[in-house]
A and B are shown apart, each in its own frame.
Chain A
Amino acid sequence: MEPINIVNSVITPLDRKNVDTDQIISKEFLKRIERTGFGQFLFYHWRFDADGNEIKDFVLNKPEFKDSKILVAQDNFGCGSSREHAPWAILDYGYNVVIAPSFADIFHNNCFKNGILPIKLTEAECDEILAKGLEKPYMVEVNLEAQTVTCEDGGVYHFSIDPYYKETLLNGWDEIALTFKYEEQIAAYEAKRIAY
């Protein structure tokens, strides 16, 4: 996967809580056997009406957010199904960063495997960013190394992140290749494993 450190972009304010992975990528698009090409289907039923026409007032369809790389939402983002097609769609559409007060566990894990940085800020901080982003196009700079989100009007938010996943993202590591270095430990465990 691609390494990630600094991302500069206007934010996309998706002012909703409990955004589930069924909304992020609907089941009719899960039949592909590739990892790529899911971006066109991101939030499909929020972006398009039943006749396939763009729903103009949905935030992703507004021209000012077309090149945005940072998605900001409310609590419990990515809940529901474990489908990794959700982060694949987010990444393929062009987002590298998702900011929310909390993430569902499986989605959160899946982000780290794909070079997407999920940032947890407090609810109050997310509300501030969302409010500004809804008012007018709002630029922020995300710095993973420094663990900061710096806003265009000077505000700086710090975020914490698991040090292991930070390294993985900064280096774009292949986790399986890393785990192969523990072959000796895995074999030793298998030799004494309880199994019925």
Chain B
Amino acid sequence: MGKNIIEKIWDKHVVYQEEGKPDLLYIDLHLIHEVTSPQAFEGLRMNGRKVRRPELSFATMDHNVPTKNLPTIHDPIARNQIETLAKNAEEFGVELAGMGHPDQGIVHVIGPELGLTQPGKTIVCGDSHTSTHGAFGAIAFGIGTSEVEHVLSTQTLWQNKPKTMEIRVEGELSVGVAAKDIILAIISKFGIGVGTGHIVEFTGEAIHKLSMEERMTICNMSIEAGAKAGLISPDQTTVDYIRGRKHAPQGEKFEEAADYWLSLASDEDATYDTVRIIQAEEIEPIITWGTNPSMGSGVSSNVPTQADYEDESDKAALRKALAYMGLEEGQPLTSIDIQHVFIGSCTNSRISDLRAAANIIKGRKVHENVTAIVVPGSHSTKKQAEAEGLDKIFTDAGFEWRETGCSMCLAMNDDVVPAGERCASTSNRNFEGRQGAGSRTHLVSPPMAAAAAIAGHFVDVREFVKETV
């Protein structure tokens, strides 16, 4: 019987196995940022421990960094955290793309850009959206700070082998439907707990037609489906993306690596513990209306009503979510006015996301009631966008063009949505208070966010394009 890619990669990384214990798993790449690492380095220092393989770790600063008025950081506690990472990286010999470094950016954007992210690797980071790197056919998952410390000291982790799940997207996507809509549709159809205890492989025609950046958007939000990790078997698209990148193998070594990477794809007769199937044709642009990522619906529908649910606890969850969001049952999604637009985050801040949004707003103006910002995923993405003139399109329309960082996705810096106001956001979480205490987040794709910025309320981007061309 064939093996799936999850089993293939896992088996290649087991350092030690014993009945009654988790597997001791080797970690090929450890990404580090300023918020979840200080206590780990402090632990090493207190115990007189070293970093076992500093060359297998790479650090950057993203969560806390300001996106305007650089290089000053006004918040002294944030500044301390950033300085602490710089100090720790130097003391323990870990490569750092710090503030102002040309390689700096959101950790899940720069890993792939720099060619650090490669098929077949085990990749961890003290951040749940590490699942992003699974787009390359890697087992990539978020860990806590104690595990960060464990990886730094031993380059391994004790891990119980998760179950495997296939989520197959059959058929072809309709025009105007984005990768973000696929993953939001999967989460709203199957629920935010569907992947718990599993690593998910996304398969099917619609998935393998996607670009690498679109695949990253899908895998990024595997965690919002509860999965430990999400991945996609490598194919020629994967190999072509990695070729020539800074940390990728070069020359003959690259060809050798490419053969190895392609050999990791799931065998045709591979099986999974669980299989879920969704038809691409049934997916339309999605808008979330609630306070977790499964609370989303197609743009042509209405906010659900209690009658749509059988279970009393689901009815209660709906009432609670709508009370927080300030929405009425049965209200059309396109009737929701917005005051903020955020294009950015590890989900949707790559060059193709910026192009897709710019394409919608070109020659138009942001609605007078809306404040809109674009935060590119990395310095290098920002530079590329500027070379293409995208920054001009955004600023001419009335968007603010910012420096890179996690920014308004989690609002640890000054980029905050005020209480009671709504944001059409290309990020990944619409939890209560995520973008600021009392803020109301609606998750959408970059084109949907761009169209909402112009209209001042949600619109079906497919109609919007037709009407205004």
Chain A interfacial positions (CB closer than 8 Å to B) = 17-18, 20, 22-23, 26-28, 30-35, 45, 50, 74-76, 79-84, 87, 102, 104-106, 109-110, 113-114, 162-164, 175-176, 179-180, 182, 185-186, 189-190, 193-196
Contacts and interface: CB of A to CB of B under 8 A. Distances in A.
A165 B466 CA distance: 58
A196 B154 contact: no
Contacts of A194: 12, 120, 260
Nearest to A178: B158
Contacts of B348: none
Interface stretch (B189-197, B206-214, B301-309): B189-197
A79 B193 CA distance: 9
B438 interface: yes
B126 A31 contact: no
Interface in B1-51: 12, 15-16, 20-22, 24, 26, 28, 35-36, 38-39, 42, 47, 49
B26 A189 contact: yes
Contacts of A104: 196, 226
Contact of B158 (A17, A34, A75, A164): A164
Given A31-B78, A81-B128, A113-B147, A45 B433 contact: yes
Contacts of B359: none
Interface in B216-247: 223, 226, 228
B347 to A, nearest CB: 14
B313 interface: yes
B432 A82 contact: no
A50 B419 CA distance: 9
A31 B15 contact: no
Contact of A34 (B39, B223, B433): B39
A27 B435 CA distance: 9
Contact of B143 (A17, A106, A189): A106
B158 A82 contact: no
Contacts of B60: none
A193 B223 CA distance: 28
A32 B412 contact: no
A176 B47 contact: yes
A27 B412 contact: yes
10 contacts: A18-B292, A22-B432, A79-B193, A82-B144, A84-B126, A105-B162, A105-B197, A186-B154, A190-B155, A196-B118
B154 A109 contact: no
A31 B127 contact: no
Q: Which 9 A-B pairs have the closest CB atoms?
A: A113-B146, A84-B144, A33-B38, A110-B144, A82-B142, A196-B257, A84-B145, A82-B128, A31-B77
B335 interface: no
B70 interface: no
Given A81-B128, A82-B144, A30 B412 contact: yes
A22 B433 contact: yes
B146 A186 contact: no
B75 interface: yes
Contacts of A185: 15-16, 24
Contact of A186 (B78, B156, B193): B156
Contacts of A193: 26, 28
Contacts of B149: 176
Interface string B413-457: 000000100000000010111100110000000000000000000
The interface size bin for chain B is 35 or more
B421 to A, nearest CB: 14
A27 B410 contact: yes
Contacts of A28: 412
A110 B112 CA distance: 27
B160 interface: yes
Contacts of B433: 22-23, 26, 45
B360 to A, nearest CB: 30
Given A23-B432, A84-B36, A196-B118, A31 B75 contact: yes
Contacts of A105: 162, 196-197, 226, 228
Given A27-B412, A189-B26, 11 more contacts: A18-B292, A31-B77, A82-B142, A106-B228, A109-B143, A175-B158, A176-B49, A179-B154, A186-B26, A196-B254, A196-B260
Contacts of B192: 18, 76, 79
Given A76-B192, A84-B36, A162-B160, A186 B412 contact: no
A30 B149 CA distance: 17
B275 interface: no
Contacts of B154: 176, 179-180, 186
B432 A50 contact: no
B411 interface: yes
A108 to B, nearest CB: 9
B313 A76 contact: no
A33 B39 contact: yes
Nearest to B317: A17
B156 A179 contact: yes
B412 A82 contact: no
A58 B45 CA distance: 40
A178 B150 CA distance: 11
A172 to B, nearest CB: 13
A186 B410 contact: no
B93 interface: no
Contacts of A27: 410-412, 434
B313 A17 contact: yes
A76 B227 CA distance: 12
B299 to A, nearest CB: 24
A20 B81 CA distance: 24
A182 B158 CA distance: 12
B260 A179 contact: no
A30 B158 CA distance: 26
A50 B433 CA distance: 12
